[in-house]
Each structure stands twice: as C-alpha cells, then as structure tokens.
Amino acid sequence: MNPTPAHAGACVPPRFAASCALPYASVSIARMTSTTIESPPYPHLFAPLDLGFTTIRNRVLMGSMHTGLEDRAKDFPRLAAYFAERAAGGVGLIVTGGFSPNLVGWLKPFGGKLSWPWEARPHKFVTKAVHEHGAKICAQLLHAGRYGYHPLTVAPSKLKAPINPFTPRALSVRGIERQISAYANAATLARDAGYDGVEIMGSEGYFINEFTAPRTNKRVDAWGGTPEKRMRFAVEIVRRVREAVGPDFIIIYRLSLLDLVDDGNQWDEIVQQAKAVEAAGATIINSGIGWHEARVPTIVTSVPRAAFVDVTAKLKPHVRVPLVATNRINMPEVAEGILAAGKADMVSLARPLLADPQWAAKARVGTPQAINTCIACNQACLDHVFENKLASCLVNPRACHETDLTYRKTFAPKTVAVVGAGPAGLACATVAAERGHRVTLFDAADEIGGQFNYAKRIPGKEEFHETLRYFRHRLEETRVDMKLSTPATAADLTGFDEVVLATGITPRRVAFPGADHAKVVSYVDVLSGRVKVGARAALIGAGGIGFDVAEYLTHEGRSSSLDPARWMAEWGVDPTFEARGSLVKPQPEPPAREVWLLQRSPGKPGARLGKTSGWVHRATLKAKQVKMLGGVEYLGVDDTGLRIKVDGAEHLLPVDHVVVCAGQEPRRELQADLMAAGKTPHLIGGADVAAELDAKRAIDQGSR
Ligand code: FAD
Ligand code: NAP
Ligand code: SF4
C-alpha cells in the first residue's frame, strides 16, 4: 500500500494565462504562471494510488451522491451514461449513490436496494461503462437507520430523529445479526456486479453512526454502553464484509470524524474506531462530516472551501490506510494543497463533478480556468433529491441528462443575436456557438453576468465569481462575438437570422404612501454601491434577495466564508476537534447594522428558501439579530422612518433606509420594437417569466 504520491504522471502542456476568479485567485495565479512542461500541474492530485492488489489512477474520488437514477432498474442505462462521462473525464475512483443492504434500511420506499441477484444485475451496465474509461467504481452500502423515510425503520434504540416523522423500532440481538449479514450479502452482490469495491456508510447520522454515538445508542447489552460496545457493530460489519469478498476488493469505510451534534463521539473514540475498522479490513477511510440533523452547515456555499480538512489531517498519524478528505473541495489548487501538505491521500469531490464531468481532465492539462465550478448552491442537486425530483446541476443542466440533453453540431449554421449576458444569455450564447452558430452577445453593462454581479457581492456567495470566470472562458473558447457596453436596439438586431432576448428583469416598485421618499431605495442601489445604507434599515420583501441583502447589510469586512477559523467560531465548531460532537459555544460576530426583514404574507420569513440551505440563511440572520416579521402591512414612509401594522398594532421602525426587495418584472421592451420590424424574438430567463426566476431556470432555459 502506498498512500503517498509516487510520481508526477505524464507530461502536460504549459498552462494558459491565469484567469481564476476572485477572491480565491492568489494561490492559483501563482501556480499557473510558474508551471512549465517540466513541472506538471497538480503532481500530487495525479499521482496513482497503489492499494497493493489494485491501483487507482489518481487521487480524485467522486463522492457518493443520490441522483434519483438509482431507484429503478429501467434508469440504469442513464445512470451508466452519467457515470461514464465522469470516468471519461478522468476521475480515479467513483462511489455510487447509496444502496440499502435490505428493506428496513431503505432511504425511502422502493429506494435502491442490493439484496437479491436480480437487483444486482442492472448494475453491470454501470460497472462496464466506468471500466471502459479506466476508472474504478465502488457501490455505496447505505442503511438509513432512523433516517429512513418509511414506517419500517430500525435503529439501535427507539429514538425518533428530529428531521424524520417516523420512529424506528429498536433492534433485537438477532435483528442486529440479520443487518450484519445483509451488509456481507450486499457486498458479495456488488462484487458479482463488477464493482471494484464498496463504501460502507458509517457517518452522517445514518444507521452505523447511530450505533457508534451515545446520542442514539442507549443499549445496555453487548452492542451499547462503552465506546468499544458502541463501535462493535461497525467493526463487525467491516470484518464480515471482508470475509465475504476476499482480500482483493476495496472496502472504503466512511467514518464520522465530526458528528457536530450533542452527545456525538469524542476524538479518542473516533481514533479508536478508525484503528478498529482498519484492523477489521478497511482499505480506505473516507471522512464523514456532520449528521444530517446537525445545526452546523457542512456543504452550503457559505462554508469555507476545505473547511474541515484539518480533522482528516488529525487522524492521519493514527492509521496506515489512505485517508480521504471531503467537503467543499471544488478546485484543483485546493485539492492539490491538501494532498501536498500531507493532510490526506485522496480528495472526495461530489457536486463539483456534477457541475463539470471533465473536472479531472481539465486539471490534468493545467486549465483550471476551463472548469465549470460547483458553487455549492444545492439548488438543482440536493434540493431536487429532497423534493423527490431527479438531481441535476444549476451550472450544468446536462448533469443526469447525459442521454437526453446533447449539444450536437448543427448542419444549418445561423447568425444569432443574444441580448443580455446574464446567466440565461451566457448559457444560450455559448451553447449555440458550440453547436456551430455564429453568435453575437450584447450587454448594456461593461461586464458579463447580469444579476450574478450582485449575487457575488453577498458575503458567503463568493463562489458566484467562479461561474462568471467560467463563462468568460467559454465565450472566448466558443468565439462568441462580444458587444459589451452596448444597449441593443431593434435596429441592431433585425439583420440576424434569430434574436434571443435574455434581457432579464427590472426590480418591482412598491406602492404605499411615501414610496417615493428619499429613504426608499432598491436592492440594486444598495448592492451596486450607489447608496450607502445608514445604521438602521428595513427590507421590504423576504425572498431570496431580501435574505441576501440582510446578510450584506449585517456583515462588515472580509467574509468569514474566506476565513475558516472565524467561520468555525461563528458556528461553534471546536477548532481542536476534541470536544464531544466537536461542538463549542457559537461566537457570532456583532451585526454591522440594525435590520428588519419584512414580508406581507403571514408566517415565518424564509419558509420558501431552498430546503437544504434555507435554515442556514435563517440561522445566520438570527445570529445577526435581524428582526424577521411576517404578516406586515406597510402604512408609509416619512422622515421618521417606516410605519407598519402587525397583528393589528401599529409600529414605527426608526430606519434610515427602506430597501425594496419585492420581486421583479420581466424586461422586454425590445420585443414590441422587434415585432413591429417583423422579427419574432425568443424570450428566455427573466425576460420570459420573472416570477420565481432563479439562475437554475435561466441557465437551463438558455442551454435548451
Ligand atoms: P439577468 O441576470 O437580469 O441579466 C440580464 C442582462 O441583460 C443584464 O446584464 C442587462 O444589462 C442586460 N440587458 C437588458 N436589456 C438590455 C439591452 N437592451 N441591451 C443589452 N443588454 C441588455 N439565483 C439563484 O439561482 N441562486 C442564487 O443564489 C441567487 N442569488 C441572487 C442574489 C442576488 C443578490 C440577486 C440580485 C440575484 C440572485 N439570484 C440567484 C437570481 C439570479 O441572479 C437571476 O435569476 C438570474 O441572473 C436571471 O438571469 P437572466 O439572464 O434572465 O437575467
Ligand atoms: P421573491 O422570492 O419572489 O420574493 C419577493 C418578496 O417580495 C416576497 O417576500 C414577497 O412577499 C414580497 N413582495 C412581492 N410583491 C410585493 C409588493 N408589491 N409589495 C411588497 N412586497 C412584495 O423574489 P426575490 O427575493 O426578488 O428573488 C428573485 C429570485 O431570485 C427568486 O425567485 C429566487 O429564487 C432567486 N434567488 C435565490 C436565492 C437563493 O439563495 N437560492 C437568493 C437570491 C435570489 P410578500 O408578498 O409576502 O411580502
Ligand atoms: Fe454544485 Fe449547485 Fe450544481 Fe449542486 S446545483 S452541483 S451545488 S452548482
């Protein structure tokens, strides 16, 4: 076994000029300008990993993600195409979404399961497709335990999870034995289906983790009580799986290094567990970060890049098997830095490979500026899964649509004018140009990006810079003719074969007494820096933009998303990782302003934000003492402030500014002029429908 880089891999062309986006650019620019053929980019990332009985071609592990294609045999050809693109894109080792080893371990009714030979058979499509491209693949065995969304769930103790309505049944000793056998059986089936190994999911608060933690294991028999008895179930599973599959099969054990819940494991118990699963036959240990019920965010965009990598590094001296670092590793310089510093032996990227299947190939040839970076928004991946929809990706609508959304070359090239270089126009222009059309892209502004130029200024949304950097590169690569600082008129457009209006939106104005008072400004005035907001502000409208503007106004200085130590202090993560569950008292930084966030509809503001990120936005604003009110009637604005009525009582909010974040209206005045000139334009993004517009729809529509 050789977990350290052995050699640097093949020669690669020199890197192109640096164009990585702010504010992460410093490391990459230094690297990119200094790279030559003699010093290949990212030598640690592309060093093979020798496991003794097999070798993985590089250190890029595609982490497990449920996509929705795992649950029905008829979707396996699509699942195979999805994985094949990532294998062809150069990933070393792929881990599938979770398959339960038996029925009680289901994540949801009729979810993917691996307990009978006929359930294993369709997996051969997947393993064959991946092997054809030189990558290795492991099936994840995921028993949901008390997180299963069905009435058959089992757990070490009868304790309901705070995020699930179903109460599990506590297992008998015979029941425990049946679960262990189910794992061994599933691993044997995975081997028969052509997998190179399995990943045993022992973290994130699922079944095995429920045995290891005192929080959920209240047993007083041989499977609970002391740390040794709590970890016995995990160790026994690894031992029995190894016995069943033989020595030449990868067993990854996903170990919860940070539970981030009260009564979770303590550091010495985690080390003990790691040593025990290694001795029982694990080949690789993957890092698990945070239970699903944890109140500390672990993957959303405001989590700093590689925030938790030091906990993997802390385990390194204690084990000999290769260790995998995870969470918010989305660019090659971050991955290389972790490996070069000896903090881990592999890096796990999950969502970044939804965003760009060619991630590894682009890193290997030294073109990180060509990577379509995952911005950790969760909007099209995790949020979809939680809504029982097929996963995809906001920045790459082809993810999980590899067989039905293909950008084929056209046999009839046309001249195409795209008006508006926001997300919709950028996607449309680059896809049309890639297909062979001659595209001209107009924008009235002097830079591309549309509203993303406001989004990127929100503390915690720094990743949005990367999408703009990617599109700048794509525009160049696809040779789109750019016309910036050019407000297009109908006369400019009539000569084109096709005209696409991606002109976006205009912010909605509000109508109440004093709406034209000097205190009343739009979110655009604030985020563009045209208005300097006073010490007290009220925000009208509590949608995604209202929440973002509240974060902008309550934060000051460098965003803690760029500073892991401050971020950990804010969220109460023990920087030494020694405390039980790794939790300490949160220390939020004081708000920069006093802010009220208001909406007319009754109920909790933010209820309609993303399923997996909304709670983080609400918690952040609560920590910043933002007063969030629903059921508000706006009575008027004058020199004294904003008068409102809530629950029949009138209040005066003595604010310096009232910032309107009340939604948007489509901007498409060009449509009428074009129609009058005999030209029917195509409408996309906000110009088409402004209601419930987001970048996911804009990019998807632009691409299609
Ligand atoms: P726009 O982005 O509005 O782009 C339209 C472009 O057209 C502009 O650049 C404009 O200059 C140009 N234009 C207009 N008329 C003309 C003309 N006549 N000639 C030339 N150019 C013209 N969405 C998400 O999905 N997730 C988020 O986290 C998120 N956060 C956000 C945070 C903030 C603060 C804001 C403001 C928005 C956020 N959004 C988010 C929304 C997202 O940015 C929009 O949904 C998306 O930008 C809409 O894309 P679009 O291309 O339709 O329009
Ligand atoms: P939005 O989500 O539709 O919210 C608009 C808000 O304004 C609501 O709170 C609405 O609630 C209020 N409002 C609407 N008309 C009003 C009126 N006439 N007077 C007073 N209040 C009014 O829109 P948005 O916040 O502008 O966001 C635009 C889009 O960007 C959203 O669809 C969102 O998906 C996307 N976005 C997403 C994120 C993200 O993190 N995912 C972040 C930012 C933006 P009441 O009517 O109850 O007051
Ligand atoms: Fe990343 Fe957002 Fe795409 Fe999910 S939807 S993979 S979080 S960019």
380 lines ligand 3 (CB under 6 A): yes
3-state DSSP assignment of residue 34: helix
Ligand positioned closest to the Cα atom of 503: 1
394 lines ligand 3 (CB under 6 A): yes
392 lines ligand 3 (CB under 6 A): no
94 lines ligand 3 (CB under 6 A): no
Q: Which residues, 6+ apart, have CB-to-CB distance to 255 below 8 Å?
A: 202, 203, 270, 273, 274, 277, 285, 286, 287, 288
For residue 590, cis peptide bond before it (omega within 30 degrees of 0): no
Q: What residues are paired with 642 via a beta bridge?
A: 637, 653
CA 547, distance to chain mean position in Å, is 19
Ligand positioned closest to the Cα atom of 694: 1
Nearest CA to ligand 3 atom 1: 374
Q: What predicted TM-score, i.e. pTM, was given to this entire model?
A: 0.93
pLDDT tens digits for range 496-512: 999 999 999 999 999 99
Q: How far is the CA of 170 from the centre of ligand 1 (A)?
A: 51
Nearest CA to ligand 3 atom 6: 351
Q: How far is the CA of 502 from the centre of ligand 1 (A)?
A: 9
Nearest CA to ligand 3 atom 8: 374
Burial of 164 (0-12, 13-18, 19+ CB in 10 A): middle
Q: Which residues, 6+ apart, have CB-to-CB distance to 242 below 8 Å?
A: 251, 280, 281
Q: How far is the CA of 668 from the centre of ligand 2 (A)?
A: 20
Probe target for ligand 2 pocket from 464, 512, 596, 599, with the most ligand atoms within 8 Å of CB: 599
Nearest CA to ligand 1 atom 34: 455
385 lines ligand 3 (CB under 6 A): no
Probe target for ligand 1 pocket from 395, 447, 452, with the most ligand atoms within 8 Å of CB: 452
Q: 């892991």: which residue's tokens?
A: 564
Q: Tell me, what's the pLDDT at 169?
A: 98
442 lines ligand 1 (CB under 6 A): yes
- d(CA 160, CA 201) in angstroms, rounded, equals 20
Ligand positioned closest to the Cα atom of 379: 3
- d(CA 146, CA 258) in angstroms, rounded, equals 19
Which residue from 364, 394, 400 is spatially nearest to 376, judged by alpha carbons? 394
696 lines ligand 3 (CB under 6 A): no
DSSP run (H or E) holding 506: strand 505-507
Residue pair 484/448 in contact (Cβ under 8 Å)? The answer is yes
Pocket of ligand 2 (CB under 6 A): 379, 508, 510, 540-546, 548, 599-601, 610, 661-664, 692-694
Q: Would you say the C-alpha torsion 343, 59, 258, 464 has a positive or negative sign?
A: positive
Q: How far is the CA of 423 from the centre of ligand 3 (A)?
A: 15
Q: Would you say the C-alpha torsion 563, 564, 565, 567 has a positive or negative sign?
A: positive
Probe target for ligand 3 pocket from 395, 463, 703, with the most ligand atoms within 8 Å of CB: 395
Ligand positioned closest to the Cα atom of 422: 1
Q: How far is the CA of 6 from the centre of ligand 1 (A)?
A: 47
Q: What are the C-alpha distances in Å from 357 to residues 309, 338, 576?
A: 23, 21, 35
393 lines ligand 3 (CB under 6 A): yes
Residue 195 annotated in active site: no
Q: How far is the CA of 578 from the centre of ligand 3 (A)?
A: 32
Ligand 2, closest atom to CA 598? Answer: 48
Please give the span between the terminal C-alpha atoms of the chain, in angstroms, as a whole number: 47
Residue pair 97/108 in contact (Cβ under 8 Å)? The answer is no
Q: How far is the CA of 538 from the centre of ligand 2 (A)?
A: 15
Nearest CA to ligand 1 atom 8: 450
3-state DSSP assignment of residue 564: helix
Q: Tell me, what's the pLDDT at 38?
A: 57
Q: Tell me, what's the pLDDT at 3?
A: 36
Q: How far is the CA of 644 from the centre of ligand 2 (A)?
A: 19
Task: State the angle between helix axes of 76-88 and 123-131 in degrees (0 to 180), rounded to the nearest 10.
Answer: 20
Considering the candidates 24, 82, 147, 206, report the single residue annotated as catalytic: 206
Ligand 3, closest atom to CA 351? Answer: 6
Q: Tell me, what's the pLDDT at 269?
A: 98
Which residue from 211, 207, 189, 209 is spatially nearest to 198, judged by alpha carbons? 189
Nearest CA to ligand 2 atom 43: 544
Q: Tell me, what's the pLDDT at 40?
A: 83
Q: Show the low-confidence residues of the chain (pLDDT under 50).
A: 1-37
Q: Tell me, what's the pLDDT at 34?
A: 39
378 lines ligand 3 (CB under 6 A): yes
